[in-house]
Amino acid sequence: MGTFPFDAIPSTVHDPIVGRGEGASAETVGERIKRLRRERGLSQRAVAEPGVSYAYISRIEAGTRQPSVKALRKIAAKLDVSADYLETGSELDPAGARELRLADAELALRLGDAKAAETTLHKLYADATRAADRTIAARAAIALALTAYERGDHAAAVSRLEEAFELERPSPLERVEVFVTLGRAYNALGHTEREIALYEECLEEIGQHDGDHASELARYRILLSYALSDAGQFGRAEKVLRQTLAESEATDDPLMRIRLFWSLARLSEMEGRSTAALRYARRAITLLEATEDNLHRARAHLLAAWIMNSAHDPQGARRQLEQAERLFGGGASADDLAILYVEQARSHSLLSEGTQAVEMAERAIALLDNQDSATVGTAHWALGEGLALQGDVDAASAAFERGVGLLERNRRWREAAEAARAWARLLREAGRAEEALDVLDRSAEFALRLSPEQRVQG
Residue 438 is predicted with a pLDDT of 94
- Residue 417 inside a domain? The answer is yes
The answer to whether position 316 is within a domain reads no
Q: Are 334 and 150 in contact (CB under 8 A)?
A: yes
Considering 89, 108, 128, which residue would you say is the last residue of a domain? 89
Residue where one domain finishes, among candidates 46, 67, 89: 89
Q: What is the pLDDT of residue 18?
A: 34
Which of 219, 222, 228 has its CA nearest to residue 195?
A: 228
Count the domains in the chain: 2
Q: How far apart are CA 49 and CA 372, in angstroms?
A: 70
In a domain, 278, yes or no: no
pLDDT of residue 87: 81
* Rounded-to-integer distance, Cα 284 and Cα 122, Å: 40
Asked if residue 290 is part of any domain, the answer here is no
Name which of 43, 49, 80 is nearest 61 in CA terms: 43
In a 13 Å sphere around the CA of 396, the CA atoms on its Cβ side amount to 26
Whether residue 253 is contained in a domain is answered as no
Is residue 220 in some structural domain?
no
For position 267, what pLDDT does the model report? 82
Residue 189 lies in a domain: no
| Enclosing domain of residue 81 | 29-89
How does DSSP assign 361-424, residue by residue? HHHHHHHHTT--SHHHHHHHHHHHHHHHHTT-HHHHHHHHHHHHHHHHHTT-HHHHHHHHHHHH
User: What is the residue-level pLDDT of the chain in tens, covering all 458 positions?
Assistant: 555 555 543 333 233 333 334 444 478 999 999 999 999 999 999 999 888 998 999 999 999 999 888 888 889 888 887 777 788 776 667 787 788 788 888 887 777 777 778 888 998 999 999 999 999 999 999 999 998 988 888 899 999 999 999 999 999 998 999 999 999 999 888 888 999 999 999 999 998 887 778 888 888 988 898 888 888 788 888 888 888 877 766 566 777 778 888 888 888 887 778 888 888 888 888 888 877 788 888 888 888 898 898 888 999 999 999 999 999 888 788 888 999 999 999 999 999 999 999 999 999 999 887 677 888 999 999 999 999 999 999 999 999 999 999 998 888 888 899 999 999 999 999 999 999 999 999 999 888 876 555 444 44
Alpha carbon distance 428, 282 (integer Å): 39
Q: Of 89, 109, 129, which residue constitutes the final position of a domain? A: 89
Query: 9 in a domain, yes or no?
Result: no
Tally of CA atoms within 13 A in the half-sphere of 267 that contains its CB: 25
The reported pLDDT for the residue numbered 84 is 74
* CA atoms of 223 and 256, how far apart (whole Å): 12
pLDDT at 13: 29
Residue 28 sits at φ, ψ, to 5 deg, of -85, 170
- DSSP, residue by residue, 256-311: HHHHHHHHHHHHHHHTT-HHHHHHHHHHHHHHHHTS--HHHHHHHHHHHHHHHHHT
Predicted local confidence at residue 22, as pLDDT: 42
Query: CATH no. for residue 79?
Result: 1.10.260.40
